[in-house]
Chain A
Amino acid sequence: MARSVTSQRKLINTGLAWLIGLIIFFPILWTILTSFKTEAQAINDPPIFLFFDWTLENYAIVQERSDYMRFLWNSVIIAGVSTLLGVMIAVPAAWSMAFVPSKRTKDILLWMLSTKMLPAVGVLYPIYLIFIELGILDTRVGLIVVLMLVNLPIIVWMLYTYFKEIPGEILEAARMDGASLRSEILYVLTPMAVPGIASTLLLNFILAWNEAFWTLNLTAANAAPLTAFIASYSSPEGLFYAKLSAASTMAIAPILILGWFSQKQLVRGLTFGAVK
């Protein structure tokens, strides 16, 4: 497989790729660096890259002002449960679309995607009124349901494309052996689809984690996740770059770390059926 390449070309590739990678990553790096500066150093002209007095005071200030762990916990629960729930509902749907396709399968898929095009602001009032009626404003349950619904089309589609890659003959064979539908899914299909399901979970966890409209507008104190945490640091009075950076770093760090550890999985699985 490995293409033979001169080491000179490899060197050029490496240099170029690293350069571009660093440029793309730079805004994040800069935010993290700035979070360890004092406010004065954060806006110093010329900018200071590494040789400043590293300090943790911004993190201390941010933590003192708002209880980070509570926001974090809400984010974890809301993103996690909504994703799990979404996948649980989507697996059977995607399975049947992939293995028992009908004429309408593709239409249904595309229709599902099109529900994502509803502009959220346009329906804020209806949803808000419904939430009041149901008494689920500012609850995790409410947000879990909304985020699950928002991401469901993407989940169904991703799973559908993975399932489609699984050769139908295997299922036929299993059926011949007298496997029930349940065990067919459980023992034959699922193991083969694990990489796909894993990357679906990952991607949708990220999407749910970063969702900033519903999470902000349907919460107050109890269910507010990290997106609300950030909203209290966005433009306070006075110098704020360092504190903003600290809050930003705290908000993105968990997902960044998760993403890094699972990037292989994500790279392998994130195809949306683009590869055949």
Chain B
Amino acid sequence: MSTKRMLLGATAGLGLVVGLASAVAAQDTTLTIATVNNGDMIRMQGYTDDFTAETGIAVEWVTLEENVLRQRVTTDITTNGGQFDIMTIGMYETPIWGANGWLVPLDDLSAEYNAADILPAMAGGLSHDGTLYAAPFYGESSMIMYRTDLMEAAGLEMPASPTWDFIAEAAAAMTDRDADINGVCLRGKAGWGEGGAFITAMSNSFGARWFDEDWNAQFDTEAWANTVNFFKNMMDASGPAGYATNGFNENLSLFNQGKCGMWIDATVAASFVTGADSTVADSVGFALAPNNGLGKNANWLWAWALAIPAGTQQADAAKQFIEWATGTDYIEMVAANEGWANVPPGARTSLYENPNYMAVPFAQMTLDSILSADPTNPTVDPVPYVGVQFAAIPEFAGIASEVSQEFSAAYAGQQTVEEALAKAQAITTEAMEAAGY
């Protein structure tokens, strides 16, 4: 109200200097798109000219590393800054932002676009109250990628749906420190989207959960202790040096260099480890993420999706772009130019009905993994939240990034697993109280 108005008004004193600064540029047909610097997005940028030629709409890319991107778009959306016409966000942000009315509903996409073709698991995670707020550019679950040659040399055979005990045993058998081969590479890096996502998905298969039905933190449970101890013991025995700082990228490059026997991570990685950059492309097998016989696998569900902030003046042009980038024509264009293995996966049902795509070695396993993840029912015991490797509440990102830092410190041996869990419990309880749960 007026006090705040005045406060901000007073700051217009700064405007003295700024003077005639704010000439609003005419940008009728230029979209500003914030995106993450992942391979599929970079590829999409390469095709932007096609879009501009087709529609006359110019596109400005703001490509940022994931953490910077999050910080940037969150600041802008919460303050209604209006800097972007399209934002690349994930399954965690979409329902929360949608509920706040910050995103333009995508309920009027064209018939050719066929929104019903979006994989139900993805559409569900990108909706609030049944309304789609972001269109998936690609979707992923997680699965095991392993070296068939090393597995054979170890005299083992990977089951289609292995248990954690098998993974630990196989990891130990494949490890050969002299040859610089680590049995298993997993994310230990701090950050809720990095190591935090992995350990949370893993904890689901161990029967653990973040919160009970009354929003009480659950890190003091045995299930969590089992999860983190199992992870640390296995990684200490068979993981790469410094795994506490390894995230997706670090593990990808280790695996591609032939330094990992197994790697449990995002299904999108399958096209990289079988691609041109990989030295082991010919000997990669795939399996479902491990379980502990409790009915839940340790796989997550995620989508990078395009959403339109409610503040934009160019919602129609933005929708045109979204239809172009996440539609089936785009997939076919990429397939024609770069092969089926390189199309953005995991977003559309029709892709998995296409025999050309199903001939790609990891297609079926990707689909199976996606289908086996259930965000509305992620854990063995019931929980009040939605989301597999996250809880879709605004406080989660902050809490989980700190909790995962405590875990990483335990992986690095700076504290015991018990200390880390105790701190995690304290951090979570503290933050949930602050948020008024």
Contact = CB atoms under 8 A, between A and B. Distances in A.
A–B direct contact (CB < 8 Å): yes
Interface in B252-272: 252-253, 256-257, 272
Interface string B73-115: 0011001111110000000000000000000000000000000
Nearest to A216: B68
Interface string A220-262: 1110100010011111111110000000000000000000000
Given A134-B15, A220-B34, A236-B39, A129 B8 contact: yes
Nearest to B277: A238
Given A66-B63, A237-B249, A124 B256 contact: no
Contacts of B81: 128, 131-132, 137
Interface string B185-204: 00000000000000000000
Interface stretch (A16-24, A139-147, A162-170, A178-186): A139-147
B12 interface: yes
A137 B42 CA distance: 25
Contacts, number: 116
A188 interface: no
Contact of B257 (A43, A125, A138, A142): A43
Interface residues of A, number: 39
Interface in A113-160: 124-125, 128-139, 141-142, 145
Contacts of B39: 236-238
Contacts of B18: 134, 136, 141-142, 145
A145 B14 contact: yes
B79 A221 contact: no
A135 B14 CA distance: 12
B65 interface: yes
Nearest to A61: B42
B435 interface: no
Contacts of A216: 68, 72
Contacts of B38: 236-237
B37 interface: yes
A234 B65 contact: yes
Given A64-B46, A128-B79, 4 more contacts: A133-B8, A220-B76, A235-B37, A237-B38
29 contacts: A65-B63, A128-B75, A128-B79, A128-B81, A134-B22, A135-B21, A136-B22, A137-B82, A137-B83, A141-B18, A141-B22, A142-B18, A145-B14, A217-B71, A220-B62, A220-B76, A221-B60, A221-B61, A222-B25, A228-B64, A231-B68, A233-B37, A236-B37, A236-B42, A236-B65, A237-B39, A237-B249, A237-B272, A238-B252
